[in-house]
Structure formats: structure tokens, C-alpha cells
Amino acid sequence: MERRKNPRRRVLKKGSIQFGASAIDCLVRNVSSVGAMLDVESPVGIPVEFVLVVPVDDMRMRCRIIWAKQNRLGVEFQ
């Protein structure tokens, strides 16, 4: 049973985490109106706040990491 206030949609889309002059590839696993779950090769060096870019959706969202577990990040949109 889904207990979240904002239901998530499962997706599988290429994205990038952008900060400063750097970008790290990621895979968007699910998304809601308030956040997303991302897979990354390694969370090392990713700042707490960044811009998530998903070209296929023409999406650019400022994000904040709210949890991290191995190679997976939970982010909230700002």
C-alpha cells in the first residue's frame, strides 16, 4: 500500500547531475511532483544541492539530497 502523500511514477530515464562546471550521469528511477530517486555510479563528490537535467523531458530542476544509500540518491525538488 502506497503511504506517500505524493505518488511516484516509475521511470527509467537518462539524466545528469550538474553543479558548477561539472556533470555526472545518472539514471532517474522514479519521480513525483516533489522529488525523484536517482541511480549514480558513485555518490562521491556529488554536492547536497545540484541541478537535475533530464533532456528527454526538457527538465531542469534544482534538487537537494534527502537520503543516500550506496549508489542511490533520494532528492527533493526545490
CATH number at 45 reads: 2.40.10.220
pLDDT of the residue at 2: 52
pLDDT of the residue at 50: 98
pLDDT of the residue at 26: 98
Domain assignment of residue 3, yes or no: no
pLDDT of the residue at 6: 79
Map residue 57 onto helix, strand or coil.
helix
As given in the structure block, the three cell numbers for residue 68 are 543516500
Closest C-alpha to 37, from 56, 21, 13, 18 = 13
Give how many domains the chain has, as a whole number.
Answer: 1
Residues 72/37, Cβ–Cβ less than 8 Å? yes
φ, ψ (nearest 5 deg) of residue 57: -105, 5
Domain that holds residue 67: 9-77
Residues 32/5, Cβ–Cβ less than 8 Å? no
Domain assignment of residue 4, yes or no: no
Query: Residues of the chain whose pLDDT is less than 70?
Result: 1-4
Domain assignment of residue 52, yes or no: yes
